[in-house]
Amino acid sequence: MAVESKNKINHISAYSSVRPNTPSSSASLSKMTPVIVPKKRDLSFLCTPEFNRAVSDRCRALFNMNLKEKFISPNMTVSDFHKRVEGISKISAYIAKDSVLSSLGIEYNDIVEALKFSSKHNIPIDYNFDSRINALENLSSMGANPQNNKIFKKIGQELLKGIIVYNEDNVSVFDELSLENMRKLMRSRTLAPVRKKMDSDLIISFLKSKDSSVIVKENIEKLEAILKNQEYSFLKDCPSLKPSLLLYGGDLNKFMSKVKEIHSSLGKNQKLLFSLNPETNVVFIKSRNIYEGGLETAVSQRYDKAFNLVAEERSISGLNSAGKKTLNAYIMDKTGHAEYNIRQIYDKVHKSWILTDWIKRIKNQQGKVVETEVLQLSNVAGVYNIKKIDANRKIQTLSSAVKNNKGTIIEKKLVSPLGDRTFYKFFKSSDGKREQFSYVIKDKDGKVLASKESLFRRLSSSLALSVVNGEKYKIEYFKDEIHIFDEKNAQKTVLDLRKLVAKGQKSHLGLLKKLSAPELIAVSKNAKYLDSIKEKDSYYLIGADEIACSANRFVFEHELGHAKDSAVESFQSVINDGKKSVLEMKRKFTSDIKLQKIFKAEKNRFMKAYPLKIRHIAGYFVNENINSPLIKGLSEAVAEINAIINSPYPPKWIMGRGHLLQENFPRTIAYLLKKYKL
C-alpha cells in the first residue's frame, strides 16, 4: 500500500500492516519460535515452505534488533525491506538447486549479512532474481570446467557473494589469456610461495586485467626460471616475494639480479626488502640493520623502469633519552633536486609517527643549494614554525605560531607547487572570549580564488556573537538547547541537546559551545547523535547520522565534514581499485566531477614534488598507504579541509598531514570554500 511505503523502518508497528499477525514488541519476540538457520551446505532447505517462514521470522527479528543495533537505515521503508528479503530467498533457492554453486557452502547467515549491509546504508540494490540469472549461469559454467577447478575453489565463494550483494558478473569479463595464466600459476610448484600470497580479491583482479595479461604471461615464465635457479634460493622465504612482481612492466631479470647483488653484500644482522609499483614500474630495494636494544639502520633505494637511481633514503631509529621511539632520515630526491633531513617521533597512543622537524634543501642543476626550508614545532600544539632561506641568506617566514599573555596568534603564507598562495591569520584571546580568522587563497598572479573571514565573540555564559563573511548570527545557550538566530534571513535553528548528545557527555557540550553559528546549523542538519569514543577511532556513521569522536574540536570538525559531504542520500558505482566493484554514496562534495579533477591535478603535482617518505605522511588523502578508490582519498581530504577551515589547529599526531594538505591542495580548498561555503 502507498501509505505503508511511507512508514519508516524504525516504526516497528508499521510492520503489522505488511504481516498482520506478527508481534512487534520485544516481549512478543522472546516468546516466538526460534529462527531456523540451516547448517553449512544444507541449502536444500532454501526451497521449502519452512524457509519462507524462517525468513519472515528473521525479518521480524531484524526489525526488533534494529531498535538497538541501528543496522537498518531510517530512510528505508518496511515494504522495501521485505521485498529484499523475498528477493534474496529466490536467489538462495536457485543456488541450492545448482550442484556447482551449492558446493561453495554459502550459508543462510551469509545471505542475511548481505541483506543487513545493503539495508544499513540504504543501497538501492534490486534483489530481483531475473537480473542475476546470467551471472549465476556464468559462474556455474566456469566451476563445471575441470581446468578451472583450483581457481574456482579459491574464488568461487567470493564471486558468488559479489553476485548476491552487488549483482556483479565478473566471470563474463575474465580474459582467456588471464585464465590460462592463472591455471599455470595454480599448477606450478615452483611458484607456490607467490600463490600463497594471493587472496580471492587479488586473483579476480588478475583475471580481469586484460591489458596486463601478456606481461603476466612473460613474468610467470621468467619468475619460474629465476626461482628454479639455486642462486635465488633466498627468495623463497623472502616476505617481499609478492604477486605484484608478475605485473612488472620493466626487465624482471634485471630487477631480480639487482636484488641478488644487494642480498650477497648483506651482513649478519641485515635484512632485505623490495617492492614495486606496477603502475609506474618504480622499484624499491631496502636493506635493514637490526641491533640489540631496538636500534635499526636502513638504506632504501628507488629506481625507475630503466634502473636509474632516482632517490635514496638513509635512516636510523631507536629510543631517545626519554624512552620514546624516534626516526631520523636523510633523503636524496634526484627527480626534485632536493635533500631532506627529517625527524619523527612515535606516538604510542595513536600509533602514528609525528613529524617534528625537517630541513629541506633545493639544489640547481650544478648541485648548488639555492633554497633551504626549516620546519619545526612551535609552542602552539598542532602548528609548525616554518622559515625559508634563499641563496642570498634572505629569510622568509612561511608559518609562525606564538602564545603570549594576549592570546594565540597564527600566521601562514604557504606556496603550492603550482605557485598558488595561501594567506591564513588566526587570533584567539587569552580569556577565550574572542576568536577571529582570515583565510585567503590567491593564484600566482594575485587573483583571489576564494576567501573566508570569521569572528566569534562570547558575550556571556549564555550568549555569543558569530559573524561569517559579514553575515551575523546570535547564539543563545540554555541547559538543554542551543538557539542560533540568522539575522540576515530572520531564521532560527534549535539544537536539542537532550536528543543530540549522549547522556553524561559534558565534554561534547563544551565542544558545541566553541563552534561558529554556521557549524552549529550544519550539526542540526547533518548529525542526529553525538557520542564519545577514542580520538583515533572517531567516525561518522552514514544513514544513522551519528558522529562518534573525542572532544577535540579539529577531530569533530573532520567528522562533521564527512556528515556534510554525505548529505545526498543516493548511491552510485565508482571506479574501483582493481579488485571489485563497489557502491559508493553519491556525496554532496566528492561526487562533484569538477572537484575530482581539481583534486586529481593537485594530487599529481604533490606526488611529483615530494619523495615517498613525505607522501606517506599525507597518505590518508593521496592513497599512498590506504587501498581504496580515488573518491575515498578525496572524501578524507574534504573532511580534513572542513576541519582546517573551521578549527585553528589539529592534534599533534595528525598535524603533518594537515600541513601538507593545506600547503599543496589550495585549489581543492578554494573550490570547496567558494562553491559549498565550508
Which of 357, 424, 361 has its CA nearest to residue 388? 361
Residue 202 · residue 208 · CB < 8 Å: no
pLDDT at residue 75 in the model: 61
- Name the pairing type of β-strands 529-532 and 546-549: parallel
Residue range 505-527, pLDDT digits in tens = 788 889 999 999 999 999 999 99
368: number of Cβ within 10 Å: 9
Which residues, in sequence order, are bridge partners of residue 384?
A: 377
The stretches of 305-460 forming alpha helices (DSSP H) are: none
3-state secondary structure labels for all residues of 613-664: HHHHHCHHHHCCCCCCCHHHHHHHHHHHHHHHHHCCCCCHHHHHHHHHHHHH
Please determine, for residue 413, whether its predicted confidence score (pLDDT) is greater than 80: yes
Q: Centre a 10 Å sphere on the Cβ of residue 82 and count the other Cβ atoms it contains.
A: 18
Q: How far apart are CA 143 and CA 120, in angstroms?
A: 32
- The residue behind cell 644482522 is 269
What pLDDT sits at residue 52?
54
671 vs 464: CA distance, rounded Å: 30
Most confident of 17-21, 251-255, 416-420: 416-420
Vertex 237: Cα angle to 233 and 243 (nearest 5): 100
> What b-and-e string marks burial along 644-675, b requiring 16 or more CB atoms within 10 Å of the CB?
bbbbbbbbbbbbbbbbbbbbbbbbbbbbbbee
Mean pLDDT on 632-639 = 87
Kindly tell me if the per-residue pLDDT of 6 is higher than 90.
no
Q: How many CB atoms lie within 10 A of CB 391?
A: 12
Query: Per-residue pLDDT tens for 63-111?
Result: 555 545 555 666 666 666 667 767 777 787 788 788 898 888 776 566 6
**Average pLDDT of span 329-356:** 94
- Single-letter residue type at 592: D
Per DSSP (E only), the strands in 82-201 are none
Lowest mean pLDDT among 37-46, 67-76, 641-650, 657-666: 37-46
To the nearest whole number, what is the mean pLDDT of the chain? 83
The full DSSP string for 19-47 is: STT---SHHHHHHSPPPP-PPTT-GGGGG
Confidence of residue 121 (pLDDT cuts 50, 70, 90): low
Cβ count near 389 (within 10 Å)? 15
* DSSP code per residue over 274-330: EEEETTTTEEEEEEEEE-GGG-EEEEEEEE-TT--EEEEEEEEEEE-TTS-EEEEEE
pTM of the model: 0.76
Let me know how long the chain is: 678
pLDDT at 551 exceeding the cut of 50: yes
Would you state the pLDDT for residue 187?
Answer: 94
- Residue 545 phi/psi, 5-degree rounding, is 55, 45
Which residues have CB under 8 Å from 248's CB, separation 6+?
Answer: 215, 219, 255, 276, 278, 281
Confidence of residue 631 (pLDDT cuts 50, 70, 90): low
Q: Which three cell numbers stand for residue 145?
A: 570446467
Give CA angle at 92 (90, 98), nearest 5°: 110
- Give the model's pLDDT for residue 587: 77
- The strand ranges marked E within 174-253 are none
What pLDDT score does 73 carry? 61
- Name the least confident of 16-20, 126-130, 620-624: 16-20
**Which pLDDT score is estimated for 112?**
64
Instruction: With CA atoms as reference, report the closest residue to 14 among 86, 85, 87, 79.
Output: 79
For residue range 239-267, list pLDDT tens digits in order: 899 999 999 998 999 999 989 998 998 88
Give the model confidence (pLDDT) of 33-61 as tens digits: 233 333 333 444 444 555 555 555 655 55
pLDDT tens digit string along 421-435?
999 999 999 999 999
Q: Kindly tell me if the per-residue pLDDT of 25 is higher than 80.
A: no
Q: List, for residues 159-179, the tens digit of each pLDDT value.
A: 988 887 778 889 999 989 999
- The domain limits of the chain are 2-173, 174-267, 502-676
Span 603-624, pLDDT tens digits? 999 988 998 889 889 988 887 5
Q: What's residue 665's pLDDT?
A: 98
Residues 313, 615: Cα–Cα separation, whole Å: 14
Is beta strand 421-429 parallel, antiparallel or unpaired with respect to 296-303? unpaired
Phi and psi torsions of 119, nearest 5° = -75, -35
Grid cell in block for residue 661 = 594538505
Range list of H helices, 374-512: 497-500, 506-512
Q: Residue 453's beta-bridge partner residues?
A: 438
Beta bridge partners of 482: 477, 495
Cell of 502: 549522549
